[in-house]
Amino acid sequence: MENKTKDLTKEIFPLLMSSIEKFHWYDSPPCHPNFIFGRLEFRTHIDPVLAKEAWRIALSRQPLAGVKPEKVKRRWRWVAKSQTNESGSTGSFNHHVSESSPEPWNFEDDQLRLTISSHLEIRTGDRARPTGELHGKPVERIALVYFAVHHAISDGVGAILVVNEWLAIYANLDSGRSATAGLQRLDADRLRARNHLGLIRWNYLRHIFQQPVALFGATKFIFRRTVDLTIQKDVPDSEARLYPAIVGRWVDADAVRSLSRESGRLGVTLNSIMLGRLFVSLAKFLARDGEDHRRDWLRVILPISIRGMSDRRMPAANRTTIVQLDRRADELLSSDGFYQNLDREIRIIRGWQLDKIFLICIRLLSTFEPLFRKVAGNRKSRGSVVFTNLGEPFRKLLKTHSQLSGDAFDQFDLVGPVREGTPLNYTVARHGERLRVSLHYDSRVFSANRADDLLESYAIELVGQRPRENE
């Protein structure tokens, strides 16, 4: 299977960059590298040698994990590093294994930060907290696994695919099975269609008269002034920077069931309930700073996957667009109408394919290279926060690999990047009956205590009471 993937990789490269890939590549300054980050905690032993080998195999199945950008006749394209004269020192991924007690993850690796790369770091060691028990046996060691994938070569869905395959391969190797046993066949040739928007169809043409609505939305996105959360800065300029800076919380099963009952009662999706609660928690946070923000606009940036059934065997790539949802702080009363209006807006965006407008705009802009580079690299705020619902990213994995289920796979945080003007990126993910809530915050703007307070405020809105701490 691996050989077939490698052979096909040779056939598809060089591969022209899509406009969204180029956008994310340009939007990656050294101070805010544009990576998707992950942190996984295992209350069980993780063999660093097997883990590194599993990561190597997982990336060998991902053609875009081994590419570099190249400009030919004013057109950017991806070239497989195997087709270049680069030395092995600039390979497609880096790894580091530490046997010491884990310290905060400081992602300041110049090579990793400034190249299109993937990254794996494994840390094992004693924790500075009570160890507890696992399956009736004392646990004295844990393993922390960190990974990062550049947003130009993958979105969140693609990153989840890579992590799931890495964990499955590791479990296979650990059990003496074939490394790729049980993995789906990936079709690298599908990458040729990763820039296809699927707009030429009757369903879209039927709503063509409604597209002025989308253009009006795009105008609001450009010209409407929204709350800039960087004004809440509470970190001295002299304080050391940490990137990424991530905090996480669990929402228990009872609270998740309560949220589900509420979504059923209102006739809205669970996603709309969670998004609405985020708006409310942000409005309350702003109200505590002593300034009047009631008439100010809060903007949540919502990444949306545009994958269809034909993409189910596509390797990791960026197939995501974004939409913005704006609400005034004084609109955020916890009323039924607020959640129903929010849900209706999301349904209209998806049903009328208004989520494609962003991709259409940057595709048009990409034909004017200087302007496109300027827009992509603009450091101004594009929204107050980012919110991503990952669904249940490890559902299939936990079904097929029981040794990774339960308390062994203890905690995880999967988050997108933050930007200079958008300092908060929230992520929610189901894990069994519980909900994992994660926050990637800009440590140049918010202290660790303030970020923890922000996440706790959101968890309180979800739970209805003070959440249980991780640590």
Please indicate whether residue 57 or residue 410 has the higher confidence score (pLDDT). 57
Same-domain pairing of 155 and 240: no
d(CA 394, CA 396): 6
Same domain, 178 and 235: no
Residue 156 lies in a domain: yes
Do 355 and 375 belong to one domain?
yes
Residues 262, 284 share a domain: yes
pLDDT at 218 over 80: no
Closest CA to 72 of 21, 135, 15: 15
Q: Is 104 exposed, middle or buried (0-12, 13-18, 19+ CB in 10 A)?
A: exposed
In a domain, 430, yes or no: yes
Residue 109's CATH number: 3.30.559.10
Domain boundary among 141, 158, 193: 193
**Residue 468, in any domain of the structure:** no
- What are the tens digits of pLDDT across the range 300-357? 999 999 998 999 999 999 999 999 999 887 777 657 788 999 999 999 888 878 888 8
Note whether 169 and 223 are same-domain residues: no
Tokens of 241: 């920077």
Predicted confidence at residue 386, as pLDDT, reads: 97
In a domain? residue 246: yes
Closest CA to 100 of 117, 122, 125: 125
Q: What is the dihedral of CA 44, 48, 49, 55, to 10 degrees?
A: 100
Q: Are 237 and 185 found together in one domain?
A: no
Q: Are residues 409 and 455 in the same domain?
A: yes
Tokens of 22: 């180029």
Highest mean pLDDT among 31-45, 140-154, 412-426: 412-426
Tell me, yes or no, whether 179 and 217 share the same domain.
no
> Quick one: three-class SS letters along the chain?
CHHHHHHHHHHHCCEECCHHHHHHHHCCCCCCCCEEEEEEEECCCCCHHHHHHHHHHHHHCCHHHHEEEEEECCEEEEEEHHHCCCCHHHCCEEEEEECCCCCCCCCCCHHHHHCCCEEEEEEEECCCCCCCEECCEECCCEEEEEEEEECCCCCHHHHHHHHHHHHHHHHHHHCCCCCCCCCCCCCHHHHHHCCCCCCCCHHHHCCHHHHHHHHHHHHHHHHCCECCHHHHCCCCCCCCCCCCEEEEEEECHHHHHHHHHHHHHHCCCHHHHHHHHHHHHHHHHHHCCCCCCCCCEEEEEEEEECCCHHHCCCCCCCCEEEEEEEEEHHHCCCCHHHHHHHHHHHHHHHHCCHHHHHHHHHHHHCCCHHHHHHHHCCCCCCCCEEEEECCCCCHHHHHHCHHHCHHHEEEEEEECCCCCCCCEEEEEEEECCEEEEEEEECCCCCCHHHHHHHHHHHHHHHHCCCCCCCC
Q: Cis link prior to 48 (omega < 30° from 0)?
A: no
User: Are 206 and 182 found together in one domain?
Assistant: no
Residue 57 lies in a domain: yes
Q: How far is CA 297 from the centre of its chain?
A: 24
Number of domains comprising the chain: 2
Of the residues 193, 223, 247, the one at which a domain ends: 193
Mean pLDDT taken over the chain? 79
Instruction: Find the CATH number of the domain harbouring 255.
Output: 3.30.559.30
Same-domain check for residues 361 and 277:
yes
The pLDDT value recorded for residue 400 is 72
Q: Given this model, what pLDDT does residue 116 score? A: 56
Quick check: is 48 in a domain? yes
Give the strand pairing for 133-134 and 137-138.
antiparallel
Residue 470 lies in a domain: no
**Range in 324-333, 366-375, 398-407 with the lowest mean pLDDT:** 398-407
- Encoded tokens for 230: 């960087």
Are 139 and 213 in the same domain? no
Say yes or no: 168 and 310 in one domain. Answer: no
Relative to beta strand 434-441, strand 75-80 is unpaired
**How far apart are alpha carbons 121 and 226 in whole angstroms?**
37
Distance (Å, whole) CA 207 – CA 412: 41
Show contacts of 230-234: CB within 8 Å, 24+ apart: 230/381, 230/420, 230/421, 230/423, 230/442, 230/445, 232/289, 232/445, 232/446, 232/450, 233/444, 233/445, 233/446, 234/445, 234/446, 234/447, 234/450
471 part of a folded domain? no
Q: State the residue range of the domain holding 9.
A: 2-193
Q: Cα(93)–Cα(207) distance, rounded to whole angstroms?
A: 44
Q: Which range among 175-184, 297-306, 377-386 shows the weakest confidence by mean pLDDT?
A: 377-386
User: How high is the pLDDT of residue 140?
Assistant: 46
Residue where a domain terminates, one of 151, 167, 193:
193
Q: Regarding predicted confidence, which is higher, 381 or 372? A: 372
- Global pTM reads 0.86
Q: 95 or 32: whose pLDDT is higher?
A: 32
